[in-house]
Amino acid sequence: MMKNAILELTKIVQGVALIDSPADQVKKIVSSISQTIGADVCSLYRLNDAKDMVLLASHGLASDKNITIPAGKGLVGVVAQSRHSLNIADAANHPDYFYVEETQEEAFSSFCGVPLVKQGRVIGVLVVQSRSAEQLSAESEAFLVTLASQLALIVGDIPLVTILDDSINHRVIGVRGAPGIGIGVAKFCDAGSLSRASDEGCNDPEAVIIEWRNLLIKVQAEIGAEKSALGTQLSESVSGIFDAYQLLLSDQSLIDRVEGEIRAGHGLAYSLKISIQYFCDLFRAMDDPYLKARYEDIQHLGNKLFNVWSGAKVNAAPAVPITEPVVLVGAQVSVSDIASIPAKYLAGVVCYEGARLSHTAVLSNAIGIPAVMGVGTLKKLHANDQLVVDGNEGQIIQRPSEAVVAEFRRLIVKEKSLSLQLKELRDLPAMTTDGQTVRLLTNTGLLADITPGLKSGAEGIGLYRTEIPFMVRESFPTEDEQVQVYRKVFAAYPGRPVYMRTLDIGGDKQLPYFPITGEENPALGWRGIRFSLDNVQLLMTQVRAMIRAADGKDNLHVLLPMVCSTDEVTLFSVLLDDACAQLISEGMEVSRPKMGVMIEVPAAISMLPFWQDKIDFISIGSNDLSQYLLAMDRNNARVSKRYDHVHPAVIHEIFRIVQSASTVGLPVSVCGEMAADPVAVILLIGMGVRSLSLSSAKLPKIKWMIRALSVDQARRVLSKALTYDDVERIRQLGNKTLISIGLEELAH
């Protein structure tokens, strides 16, 4: 009789998850199952690219190496094709029995196989066998079926080569941080972390507060010196990062919070730890990936303050001069870590933590260094181990073989050639081969993001997120404080369009001093323009700050989020007129900004004809609109692979938006991930979209693609795509077009 099934299931899954090596994981799986259900044999098979079943590991068979069952053959093939378990007492007499001599499985009579299924696809088969000619008990079969669904999640993403031999070419999947490929030896970044600070108490708060203020002055000076020391190597690219640090160091809410903790009796380091953690938690709680990633900016600065306070020599010059390419590896990698490596030897960055929009990813993008984030702790990695950093695919390869290194070096040469080609396009228009120009703007929300956009050839800012000044304070920012931030944005893009989105809080983006509670579904609740209009005094302050920051120029465009009703548009228009009138009466030079709406709520699509005389433009927020149309969260791992913004329903609705806007004479722009997806951009150009807003890192390749494409080609692709009813056919069509115009590098 099997022990408690749930307990045993939990023990196996947890035990396997704690093992680092994929090869050891599969061995643990088969041995644990054999022991739990008392089977003589347990074997785990995985589907390969040829649709054959490869034996990954076996407990009980004579051999567990180099055994492959041809596609559709044997009882394993029956289980895979039927997608159903098979439980029989006499395997040898089954008509589909397929004997593999090397296994010596004739000694075992019974067979019970269950499929491993991931996202609807059979990826393997789990088999148990016994010498006695009797079926496996119903209880044990049910246990195997349940366990198989869990194991599919564990082994489904691990490449076969990694499982069969992880002594070389050990592949670890992470998150794409910055594009490119780098090869070098691992160098660990082990800077002191503020999280280690303990509370030593405080007997003289006023003396510690003086120490704190002196620390601020010292760190400000060090950051200035680091920026200067970078010289021509990185200063132009990353100066925004240093400026952001200086702004945070002078932020009164941070200063006051630390001093408040000191007065409460805590030591300086612990007060700093509590305060930094407060702001980090604020951002980490958000669902918006861009805003969520901003916690790293604060965390990096906290570590910097702690290391200067403790006197840690975390950025001292290495004892041995660096003479070969290195890959920086650590939980986080800071500006100072990067600056400590000569530019010609910095091959890549790997972070255990972080995401696509994290501080280190933004920095790596700015300086053109490949980066992979969120790989988890690499316990089997040692200093000076060779690493391949593949930022294009979001993976690293430990101890790569000579053949693998040679292949990646070939890709590096190819990428460098393409990079030079893209650099030459920076100041050229994104013009199709038949003379249609597409305006390419960039998305941003931090001053540190501005320089990469300019270097990529952005013609302006298509989406400026204004939430951050509101989130890093303990009260609503004043009008003057907002003006200071916004003016720097306009100064970076003089005479170019800047689309500023009004405050978009609520849902996942909460203000610590104005919490929104009691909502069962915050995503559909008091957020965006709904919140702002209900707090009109805050909206008026923000709009006045935007207009003042524009200094009478006509390049400000105000963008309203989450709009779905005419009342919202009308109320804001009246407020905008009032703000302009107020500032004129105060003697300021004012140009009434153009106002537009984000089309991200499906209800707004049908309202466009009613708004033709009320707004000046629209911007399609492709991320939220796709999620609302598909009722699917792209950040939910269980459904994220089903989410695709070229889903037929999304394509048809966006085409309807573009046609409707064209009929009423409203300019259209598209922002979000669609604007950076080559296949989606082909469809958008075919629809008539002539303005895109995307990340600075993706902009050069999209420009390259546009300059190789004709509008006529795009229209033909769109015409076919509108007749298709599944995503895969649309993507295949788009990729075929990319290959036909010589851009196979962009086809996936």
Residues belonging to the active site:
359, 671
What are the DSSP calls for 608-661, one per residue?
Answer: GGGGTTT-SEEEEEHHHHHHHHHT--TT-TTTTTT--TT-HHHHHHHHHHHHHH
**What's the token pair of residue 467?**
């939430």
Query: 247-261 burial string, b = 16+ CB within 10 Å, else e?
Result: bbbebebbbebbbeb
Phi/psi for 602 (5° steps) reads -50, -30
386-390 and 181-188: which strand pairing?
antiparallel
Rg over CA atoms, the chain: 29
Read off the tokens for 317. 């010059």
Instruction: Give the position of tokens 């056919």.
Output: 729
Query: What burial class does residue 1 get, using C-beta atoms within 10 Å of its C-beta: 0-12 exposed, 13-18 middle, 19+ buried?
Result: exposed
Q: What is the 3-state secondary structure (H, E, C) of 51-68?
A: CCEEEEEEECCCCCCCCE
Measured between alpha carbons, how far is 698 from 673 in angstroms, rounded to an integer? 10
CA–CA distance, 667 with 234 (Å, rounded to integer): 38
3-state secondary structure of 702: helix
Residues in the chain: 748
Backbone angles phi, psi at 717, to 5 degrees: -65, -45
**Cα 560 to Cα 580: distance, rounded to the nearest angstrom:** 17
CB 714 within 8 A of CB 686: yes
Q: Give the distance from CA 316 to its chain's centroid.
A: 32
Q: Which tokens hold the place of 453?
A: 């956009």
